[in-house]
Structures are given as C-alpha cells and as structure tokens.
Amino acid sequence: MPAAAYNKKLTLFVVKNRRLWKGVVRLKNKMDILFFNRQFESEPQIALIADEKPPARISHRVSSQQAALTWGISMYIIAGLGNPGNQYRNTRHNVGFAAVDYLADRYQIDIGEVKHKALSGKGRIGSDRVVLVKPMTFMNLSGEAIRQITDYYKIDVTEELIVIYDDIDLPPGQLRVRKKGSAGGHNGIKNIIAQLGTEEFKRIRIGVGEKPKGYDLADYVLGHFSKEESVLMEESCQRAAEAVCMIMEQDIDAAMNAYNKKV
C-alpha cells in the first residue's frame, strides 16, 4: 500500500458469498497496515479505495482502530419526528411518527421501549438491523433524543441515521429525499443539527402543504388532516417508508431519483 494512504479513512470492498461487503478502515501507520494485511491475506478479492462511492449495496462495515478489526451488520436509526400524546395524532406535525408507525406495522417491530427520551424498537428490514425511534421530547427538542440514541448505538450519523418529518414548503403528499441540508425553518431539525453538530444526515421530508394566508403557523402544523387529506398522507407515509428501504437496500441517490418527483 502506498505511503500516501497512511492516516486515511479508506473504503474496503470485499466480495464474499456472491455479495459485496463494504467496510471503512482508518490506517494510521505501518503496523496498522501489516495487521490489516494479515487479517485478509487469504482473501483474493479485496480492493482498498480512498474517497470512493460504494458501487453496490452496503451490507457490512469494518473498522480498524488501534490495530483491531471488528465486523458487524449495519444498523440504521430511523427516526420519525412528532409530538407525543393522542391530541396530536393525525396532525401535520406528526407525519414523521406516522411513517415510522407504518414501518413498524409492516416489519412487525414493536416500538414499545421507553429509553433515551424516546419510544423505540429494534428489528430488521431485509438484512439490515434497524432501530425505529419516536422522540418523546416534543418536536422542538427532538435532537435530545436523537443525540442520546445515536451515541448509545455508536452509529455514523452521516451514513446510518434517517430522519422523517413534515414540510410546509412542499405540496401535500410530495416527498423530498436529501443527503444533508439546513433546518429550513423546521424547529425539530434545527435542534437535531444543534445536538449532533452537523447538517450531514439523511432525511425524508413529507409535504403537508403551505400555511394558508392569515393562519398562525403553530395552529396550522398542529391542525388535523381532513378525511381526504388523511388518505393522501397515508399514501405518502407508505411511500416515505419505501424510500427508507431503498436508501438501505441501494443508496440515497437511488431514492432521490425515485421519490423526488411531483405527485
């Protein structure tokens, strides 16, 4: 390995059992490199690629710190934002909760654990482990729960955190999948960015429509959907859940191409 690769975070691709596995490894010195080579000297199909986008599905991760390699199945934190309490069910601000509830029902994941200022549940979607999360902090303090749970599971928030929430700047039912970005005036996302210290995390915005002229913003987002709107939002939450699955099974670019279309 060239000296230029020292002290770099590299991407590792391993083809095993006809599947592509992905790892992330940081090699800091010659001893790390020697240890790394010993671990995989029997594997003929290995490529170390710096700053390279994974060419196929990510299913595994590997890290190297202090000359130790650890393999593990990927885990995603999928968080839907909203407000706790029955009075907020079926409101515009709670579409993130609704999308997570749809995922829980579809994949039979019990979101009953009360921990890290949130309701959460662990399960699998395909071959990936997931933790479904509904912060119980109320919307404006969502980041407190997200920070605690991402710290607890020690995930890479830029890769393994997906946040679903409402957006008044999108027409009702419209989805917008993004790799990163500002809060755009959304207080829940603003708090998550403040708590994590980064804007780089995946998110799926579900349009709930622009506030009518003369309406108070808080009254609008805490307002309930009509029967007709409820049908549309149920379909949107289902599509948001499908976008989550595509992000994990393929990548976020595929989800952006598939779901960032006008409905």
Helix (H, G, I), strand (E, B) or coil at 57: coil
Cα–Cα distance measured from residue 9 to residue 12, given in angstroms and rounded to the nearest whole number:
10
Any bridge partners for residue 69, and if so which?
64
Q: Is 240 left (phi over 0), alpha (psi -120 to 50) or beta?
A: alpha
Q: Which residues of 160-176 are buried (b: 16+ CB within 10 A; e: fewer)?
A: bbbbbbbbbebebbbbb
Q: Are strands 75-80 and 128-135 parallel, antiparallel or unpaired?
A: parallel
Beta-bridge partner residues of 73: 60
**Catalytic residue flag (residue 93):** yes
Among the listed residues 93, 116, 186, 224, the single catalytic one is: 93
* Nearest Cα to Cα of residue 165 among 117, 94, 111, 116: 94
Residue 185's φ and ψ, nearest 5 degrees, are 85, 0
**Catalytic residue list:** 93
